[in-house]
Amino acid sequence: MITDPFFYAVAIPAVLVMGVSKGGFGSGLGIIATPLVALAVPTPQAAAIMLPILLVMDATGLAAYRGTFHRRNLGLLLAGGVAGIALGALTFRYFSEAMIRVALGAMAIVFVAHRMHQGGTAAPAVTPSRAKGLFWSTVSGLTSTIAHAGGPPLSVYLLPQKLDKAILVGTTVIFFAVINAVKLVPYFWLGLFDARNLSTSLVLAPLAPFGIWLGVWLMRRLSQDLFYRIAYTMLVIVGLKLLWDGVRGLAA
């Protein structure tokens, strides 16, 4: 088990933030969790430590949002997400983490800027599109495999539909529950799990249900309009953070 105090100083907040995000508050904010843990350990190891914790969060989230999801979207998104995982597994060792962060950050910022130009949260709802759904869910599966960073691509597709906030969160919870379970296969195949990583995950796992509960509690107390305003704001913050980290990585 990892015993470095600095590791836990960054890992504990990372797990709590991820839980709050997956519970429905601060859409996309959980993307900072793996980079936070990566301040103390290499990124592949950070991703391996986080995955079992994510599975605990998924189980808690499924219980909180059982039966609450958008049927028309979910099957399509899962097909694209699994395809993205396969692509991510095959290219895992060849992707530059910095390039992935720059691409994700730029996509998130351009998307929000475009939506603001259309009227922001007052913009009309967009009808689900099969082509867009497959594209963005594949990107989500790919980036989720590499760095648990599948939130922004999925948000780019789902947020403009202006779904009921509980339906939106429930759909996202189910999508990532399946995606994270499927990711176990390539993670084992890539040799990312070992006794040290798994025992460290076990120590951090009890924090997961608390983070989820806090996110659900906050989400249920927000109005629909405020929920979406926070979601777009968080997406911009996350996008800027990813872009900054990616540019620094490319320049290093």
pLDDT digits 0-9 by tens, 157-171: 998 898 888 898 889
**Residue 138, exposed/middle/buried by CB under 10 A (0-12, 13-18, 19+)?**
buried
34, 50 Cβ separation under 8 angstroms: yes
HEC profile for 134-185? Answer: HHHHHHHHHHHHHHCCCHHHHHHHHHHHCCCHHHHHHHHHHHHHHHHHHHHH
Query: How confident is the model at residue 29, as a pLDDT?
Result: 65
pLDDT tens digits for range 133-154: 999 999 999 988 877 778 878 8
Over residues 97-126, the pLDDT tens digits come to: 677 778 767 877 877 787 676 666 667 788
> Percentage of the chain surpassing pLDDT 90?
27
**Cα–Cα distance, 205 to 199 (Å, whole number):** 10
Q: Is 117 exposed, middle or buried (0-12, 13-18, 19+ CB in 10 A)?
A: exposed
User: Where is mean pLDDT largest: 23-37, 178-192, 212-226?
Assistant: 178-192
Let me know: does 23 contact 213? Beta carbons within 8 Å. yes
Helices 97-118 and 224-251 meet at what angle, rounded to 10?
Answer: 140
pTM of the predicted model as reported, rounded to 2 decimal places: 0.78
Between CA 77 and CA 35 the distance in angstroms is 25
Distance CA 67, CA 86 (A): 28
